[in-house]
Amino acid sequence: MQLKGKTVLITGGASGIGLEAAKQFLANGANVIITGRNQIKLDEARKLYPAITTVKSDVSDAGDAQKLFKQVQQMGGIDILYNNAGVLTDPINLGMANSQHFEDAAYEMNVNYLGVIRLNNLFIDMLKSRKDSAIINTTSILSYVPALLEATYSASKVALQFYTKTLRKHLQILNSSVKVFELLPPLVATEMTAGRNDKKMTTEDLVKALIAGIKKDQLTIRAGDTKAVYILNRLFPTMTFGLINPKKSYAVLAS
């Protein structure tokens, strides 16, 4: 799939992976629209890359999603919907009675999973009407192996992975030309992971892998360490679980 001349909508595009994606899609000749909840960050992104269009919108809010769809319609529509927005709440011990845990889990599910379905449902007819179009869903390395400290986040991403695979097959059965890409990042250096000292992939390298995959019509894009974890988990699941969840994870839960 070629990107030159395409119009891309990137959710969560004002920082991190989304902002880097905006930069690289622009460099490949695409027109870029980004969304986010923080107007200040959107304004800063526009200063960095004046060619982008910004729209303040929260993917977890149904009213915002409807407004976003109408605005994009007025702009002439899109060819690619990149569902990049995601949230990670603070780790909470699942074995403890804590009402905040449920609220955090619901928030992660609303943004990371249900918000993607909402936008896909709104934009699918528009994408079907285009000659060459795509949906990109960002799941995670944790779609293969859950993290003890990120249990509900892992659950939201594996739900999105199953939905992505099913959506892809469903559209193929309908003979639709809409491609459905899945990007599976490892731990990436963003604001979300700023407090962690683990090995991290740069946003630049991650988005390079994404764009290379799109250009080759590689529908499943396992970036960085995700490739190794995918293979290891099929052969040695217990060992792979230990790699994702080192002993320090147990210490945090026990504290």
Any idea which residues carry the catalytic annotation? 153
Q: Sign of torsion, CA 131 13 26 204?
A: negative
Long-range Cβ pairs for the range 155-159 (8 Å, 24+): 155/105, 155/109, 156/108, 156/109, 156/112, 156/113, 157/112, 157/113, 159/109, 159/113
CB-side exposure of 83: number of CA atoms within 13 Å? 35
Q: What length does the chain have?
A: 255
How many C-beta neighbours within 10 Å does residue 157 have?
Answer: 26
Residue with token string 């977890």:
60
